[in-house]
Amino acid sequence: MIGFSDIMKRFFDTELETFRSNLVLMGEIAVRQVRQAIEAMVNADLSLAEQVAAADDELDQLEIKIDEEAIRYMSLRSPVATELRLVIVGMKASHDLERVGDEATNIVRRVARLSSEPPLKSYEDLPRMAAMAVEMLRDALDCFLRVDAEKALAVCQRDKDVDEINRALYQELTGYMIENPKTTNRALELMFISKSVERIADHASNIAEEMIYLANGEDVRHTEATRNPDAS
Amino acid sequence: MDPAIRISPESVAPADEALARQDASLIDVAGLEFHYGKIKALDGVTMKIPEKQVTALIGPSGCGKSTLLRCFNRMNDLIENAHLTGGRVKIHGVDIYGSDVDVMELRKRVGMVFQKTNPFPNSVYENITFGLQLQGVKDKTKLDEVVERSLRAAALWGEVKDRLHESGLSLSGGQQQRLCIARAIAVEPEIILMDEPCSALDPVATARVEELIHQLKKKYTIVIVTHNMQQAARCSDRTAFLYLGKLIEYADTRTMFIKPSDSQTEAYVSGRFG
């Protein structure tokens, strides 16, 4: 049997550690971006909104770096098995995290527009929905650290809860516009913000699916298992 | 000699039956144990090798993969103190270690290509016809046909058709290896065993042999021992990982290189095994 003494440490193992660290860092930044974007909306904090927009570049650069590292590793180190899955999943997850950053930036751009008018309604559903999306994102990233397919599947299954709130908000905001057309601009901005949060949850779900592939090599995309807890 | 070993499947099975057997196991190994003197080289190996596919045997030096390969045509019989001490190997359902098996006939059906290229010190032509002449074939037309067919099948005809009467040793290393493959094909085997066939070849010659393996599997069942993980990944349909004489994991090659089940397989294919 192979014991610990038989498993070699290779001179390029640190390259994968750096690759992992960069993905974790990207995840932390993306989570922070979303939290701050919603905080900026609730408090009409334009200074915080600017900070969020400015930090997007950091995520973009990290995505490029992760892609470069992955291509280099695949070309020079010929990874197989867990390493191969890690490199592929890392590239895909970094793309999702970059898109999360883009959605956070979209939200703060709309915050700037909303701030010039009085709030249409008290912000309750959107922060709740955003908290759910952030929690999904955090859990998906936790699955990366712990290689936990079961927890990752549960993240995917939570996506529909966020979708439901988004649908309800859409109907409520449409009602505002019908009742009072003067609310149209604000209602549309909130609809777009809601859509961005819903997209962030989608990206969290994608990352969770990727973590399932990392853990057990199973591709669960577009399967009933990710939607229905009873099917898994 | 049991008829099942002697007769090629095409001659006994109707076309539809042959089709139905495409995925059938050709080599059936069960509980195989093999000793070199007191040293156990194979320890309870059980596996089924499918027909007309490439099966790679991988593992660190001394793991038993070459011993296992040589069990398939009883080449180990030629080694002093080497003995099959348990289990069996069946080809087409016939125990090839049975007392009535004609070993020379078996080796005709199960050809072999070695790590070191070993053309006979004769002409290219004679290298190919050697086996047939041993069988008593003297018809020049028939021999010419076999030479051309075998060299074409080994993707060597275009390169040597004008040098058929030059020494096989005058060919390049890669050409010599393909000549050895052509020689193995000439006697119309069903199975070709390859023991690290590319380890002495440069990348271009290796690519040619790998391309040849890919072509040959349409007609032959190929079992290849290799230390080159990328070669196993590129060439084989199924891969078996052996360690200390035991079969640790055996699955389709995609699974072995993307999601192996065993941590030892994972460590070996990732190059983390030392």
pLDDT in tens, B67-80: 999 999 999 998 99
Taking the Cβ of residue A82 and every Cβ of chain B, the question of whether any pair is shorter than 8 Å is answered with yes
Instruction: Tell me the CATH number at B207.
Output: 3.40.50.300
CATH 1.20.58.220 fits domain A12-231: yes
Pair of tokens at residue B19: 């089709």
Q: Which residue has the tokens 């990727």?
A: A210
Cβ separation A10–B271 shorter than 8 A: yes
Residue of B nearest to A85 (CA): B258
**Is the pLDDT confidence value at B2 over 50?**
no
pLDDT at A223: 83
Cβ separation B257–A78 shorter than 8 A: no
**Is the pLDDT confidence value at B21 over 80?**
no
- Exposed/middle/buried for A4, CB within 10 Å: 0-12, 13-18, 19+? exposed
**C-alpha to C-alpha distance for B271 and B274, rounded to whole angstroms:** 8
pLDDT at B12: 35
Contacts of A2 in chain B (CB under 8 A): 243, 263-264, 267, 273
State the average pLDDT for chain B: 89
**Tens-digit pLDDT profile for residues B100-111:** 999 999 999 999
**C-alpha to C-alpha distance for B125 and B143, rounded to whole angstroms:** 9
Nearest to B272 among A1, A8, A84 (CB): A8
pLDDT at A225: 78
**C-alpha to C-alpha distance for B247 and B61, rounded to whole angstroms:** 14
> Among the listed ranges A36-40, B117-121, B122-126, B157-161, which one has the minimum average pLDDT value?
B117-121
pLDDT at B31: 97
Residue of B nearest to A5 (CA): B274
Q: Are A126 and A77 in contact (CB under 8 A)?
A: no
Contacts of A1 in chain B (CB under 8 A): 264
Contacts of A80 in chain B (CB under 8 A): 229, 233, 257-258, 269-270
pLDDT at A227: 76
pLDDT 10s per residue in chain A (232 long)?
A: 444 356 777 888 889 999 999 999 999 999 999 999 999 999 999 999 999 999 999 999 999 999 999 999 999 999 999 999 999 999 999 999 999 999 999 999 999 889 888 888 778 899 999 999 999 999 999 999 998 999 999 999 999 999 999 999 999 999 999 999 999 999 999 999 999 999 999 999 999 999 999 999 988 888 887 777 666 5
Whether B258 is in a domain gets the answer: yes
Q: Where are the domains of chain A?
A: 12-231
Q: Are B209 and B127 in contact (CB under 8 A)?
A: no
Tell me how many domains chain B contains: 1
Query: How many alpha carbons fall within 13 Å on the CB side of residue B24?
Result: 12
CB count in 10 Å sphere of residue A230: 7
pLDDT at A231: 63
What is the separation, in whole angstroms, between the first and last Cα of chain B? 44
**C-alpha to C-alpha distance for B127 and B170, rounded to whole angstroms:** 13
Nearest to B47 by CA among B59, B29, B34: B29
Q: Structure pTM?
A: 0.81
Name the residue range of residue B263's domain: 3-269
**Is the pLDDT confidence value at B129 over 50?**
yes
Contacts of B274 in chain A (CB under 8 A): 6-8
Nearest to B266 among A1, A10, A82 (CB): A82
Cβ separation B273–A8 shorter than 8 A: yes
Taking the Cβ of residue A2 and every Cβ of chain B, the question of whether any pair is shorter than 8 Å is answered with yes
Nearest to A78 among B230, B259, B265 (CB): B230
**Is the pLDDT confidence value at B25 over 70?**
yes
* B107 phi and psi angles, rounded to 5 deg: -70, -20
Kind of pairing, strands B221-225 and B191-195?
parallel
Q: Are A16 and A73 in contact (CB under 8 A)?
A: yes
Residue of B nearest to A217 (CA): B259
CB count in 10 Å sphere of residue B20: 11
Taking the Cβ of residue B267 and every Cβ of chain A, the question of whether any pair is shorter than 8 Å is answered with yes
* B25 phi and psi angles, rounded to 5 deg: -75, 135
User: Could you say which DSSP state residue A87 is in?
Assistant: H
Q: Please list, residue by residue across A173-207, b when 16 or more beta carbons sit within 10 angstroms of its beta carbon and e when fewer do.
A: beebbeeeeebeebbebbbebbbbbbbbbbbbbbb
Cβ separation A2–B271 shorter than 8 A: no
pLDDT at B112: 93
Residues linked to residue B194 through DSSP beta bridges, in sequence order: B113, B224
Cβ separation A10–B259 shorter than 8 A: no
Whether B274 is in a domain gets the answer: no
